């Protein structure tokens, strides 16, 4: 099998586990956070910078790359890795989430989804087969099935139809998938309904895919509901396969996800809030663009080892952001991704030392009370 996952250590008192994920472009430790490189770049960063902050596996967005520059151009370039000069593993989503997020710009049928480009309004059609074709052209290490992500809130009936379609589409994706150097993951749907999450998981596990994602969460529901859905879903997923919680990346959710047995995460949050002048610390968020930091010559986070914190003050970074200087958002992005990668390292260390629940409690006490 192209993708090999092994559990190194399973925590005794919760779902947390250490693992190794072997892909075509190398091996990574889990639990892992994947920086998002939507348009073939992690926003503002070079691949070397992504590695320096600890990024090992990055995500590319199929919807965006299909529209611009197009998967055939990337295939000609030698694939996404070569196009963007990233030699580590890449996971691509299927475009499902983006296409369903287009709202009135898309039309769903059993065959697939017709949608209009957010760039130029042109009409396009995505089907399970098309999503696989595009991801095979991109050449990611891990591809995702084309799923229907139900909105929150939605009825039990709607969520049921969406999960059943997601299962049918997952089968079509698996049938269409050819690349032997690329793994195809399933996506569990089912909204906020425990019985539907169970059904979706059991249906997909029947397809014997090399990994399973949990989709349709962190779309507006309370965090407690998300955690409950993780609790009911993870139990039906095979322990020997990696579990990926899609689109989740706030620090508290990462820790809570890990203790429930999640191995992989991605989210634009750390990089997006960075561009808005907000940075992450163990004591919560710090809005460095606020006036109170104008004459603050401390680093963003005195305990951080990132390039920004080693070399620059809050006052300087605030100045850059206020002045519209790109270097400002480069520095906050570096810091936020480094913060998240250090958090994941701390999480892995805590699992290794058998005290992940204690770590979780301490972390949340500091992070949420700030």
Least Cβ distance, residue 46 to a copy of itself (angstroms): 7
Task: Give the nearer residue to a copy of itself in terms of CB position, either 318 or 348.
Answer: 318
Residue 304 assigned as binding residue: yes
- Three-state DSSP at 222 gives coil
Residue 93 assigned as binding residue: yes
Options 93, 141, 263, 301, the catalytic residue: 93
Do the beta carbons of residue 281 and residue 273 sit within 8 Å?
no
For the question of residue 93 being annotated catalytic, the response is yes
Q: Is the previous residue joined to 153 through a cis bond, with omega within 30 degrees of 0?
A: yes
Residue 319 assigned as binding residue: no
Least Cβ distance, residue 49 to a copy of itself (angstroms): 10
Task: Give the nearer residue to a copy of itself in terms of CB position, either 218 or 278.
Answer: 278
Long-range contact set of residues 284-287: C-beta below 8 Å, sequence gap at least 24: 284/367, 284/368, 284/369, 284/370, 285/370
Q: Which two tokens stand for residue 173?
A: 């994706």
For the question of residue 296 being annotated catalytic, the response is no
Least Cβ distance, residue 319 to a copy of itself (angstroms): 4
Options 11, 141, 266, 301, the catalytic residue: 266
Q: Is the previous residue joined to 146 through a cis bond, with omega within 30 degrees of 0?
A: no
Task: Give the nearer residue to a copy of itself in terms of CB position, either 65 or 188.
Answer: 65
Residue 305 assigned as binding residue: no
Q: Is 86 left (phi over 0), alpha (psi -120 to 50) or beta?
A: beta
Least Cβ distance, residue 349 to a copy of itself (angstroms): 30
Given the structure tokens 């620090």, which residue do they identify?
A: 251
Q: How far apart are CA 100 and CA 80, in angstroms?
A: 24
Q: Which two tokens stand for residue 11?
A: 């925590």
Task: Give the nearer residue to a copy of itself in terms of CB position, either 1 or 291.
Answer: 291
CA–CA–CA angle 117, 118, 120 (5° rounding): 65
Site residues (vs a copy of itself, CB under 8 A): 39-41, 43-46, 64, 68-69, 73, 76-77, 83-85, 294-295, 297, 307, 311-313, 315-316, 319-320, 322-323, 325-330
Task: Give the nearer residue to a copy of itself in terms of CB position, either 61 or 94.
Answer: 61
Residue 25 assigned as binding residue: no
- Torsions phi, psi for 286 (to 5 deg): -130, 120
Based on the number of CB atoms within 10 Å of its own CB, is 106 exposed (0-12), middle (13-18) or buried (19 or more)? middle
Residue 96 assigned as binding residue: yes
Least Cβ distance, residue 15 to a copy of itself (angstroms): 37
DSSP 284: E
The residues that are catalytic are: 93, 266
| Residues of each annotated binding site | 93-97, 147, 189, 216, 304, 306, 309, 335
What residue numbers does the annotated binding site for Zn(2+) cover?
A: 304, 306, 309, 335
Annotated binding site for substrate: 93-97, 147, 189, 216
């Amino acid at each position: 099998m192209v993708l090999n996952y092994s559990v190194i250590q399973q925590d005794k008192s919760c779902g947390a586990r250490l693992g190794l994920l072997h892909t075509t472009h190398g091996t990574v430790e889990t639990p892992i956070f994947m920086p998002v490189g939507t348009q073939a770049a992690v926003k503002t960063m070079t691949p070397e910078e992504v590695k320096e902050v600890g990024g090992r596996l990055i995500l590319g967005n199929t919807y965006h790359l299909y529209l611009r520059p197009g998967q055939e151009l990337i295939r000609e370039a030698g694939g996404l890795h070569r196009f963007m000069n990233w030699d580590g593993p890449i996971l691509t989503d299927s475009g499902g989430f983006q296409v369903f997020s287009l709202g009135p710009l898309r039309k769903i049928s059993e065959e697939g989804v017709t949608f209009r480009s957010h760039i130029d309004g042109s009409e396009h059609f995505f089907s399970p087969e098309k999503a696989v074709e595009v991801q095979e052209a991109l050449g990611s290490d891990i591809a995702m099935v084309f799923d229907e992500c139900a909105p929150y809130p939605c009825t039990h009936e709607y969520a049921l139809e969406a999960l059943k379609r997601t299962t049918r589409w997952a089968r079509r994706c698996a049938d269409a998938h050819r690349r032997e150097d690329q793994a195809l993951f399933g996506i569990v749907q089912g909204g906020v309904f425990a019985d539907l999450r169970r059904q979706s998981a059991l249906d997909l596990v029947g397809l014997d895919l090399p990994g399973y994602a949990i989709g349709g969460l962190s779309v507006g529901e309370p965090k407690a509901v998300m955690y409950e859905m993780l609790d009911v879903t993870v139990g039906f997923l095979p322990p020997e396969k990696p579990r990926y919680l899609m689109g989740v990346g706030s620090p508290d959710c990462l820790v809570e996800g890990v203790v429930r047995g999640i191995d992989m995460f991605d989210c634009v949050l750390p990089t997006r809030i960075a561009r808005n002048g907000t940075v992450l610390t163990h004591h919560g968020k710090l809005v460095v663009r606020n006036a109170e930091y104008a004459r603050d010559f401390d680093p963003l986070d005195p305990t951080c080892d990132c390039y920004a914190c080693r070399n620059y003050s809050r006052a300087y970074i605030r100045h850059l952001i206020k002045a519209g200087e790109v270097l400002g958002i480069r520095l906050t992005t570096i810091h936020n991704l480094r913060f998240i990668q250090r958090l994941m390292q701390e999480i892995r260390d805590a699992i290794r030392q058998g005290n992940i629940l204690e770590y979780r409690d301490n972390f949340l006490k500091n992070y949420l009370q700030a």
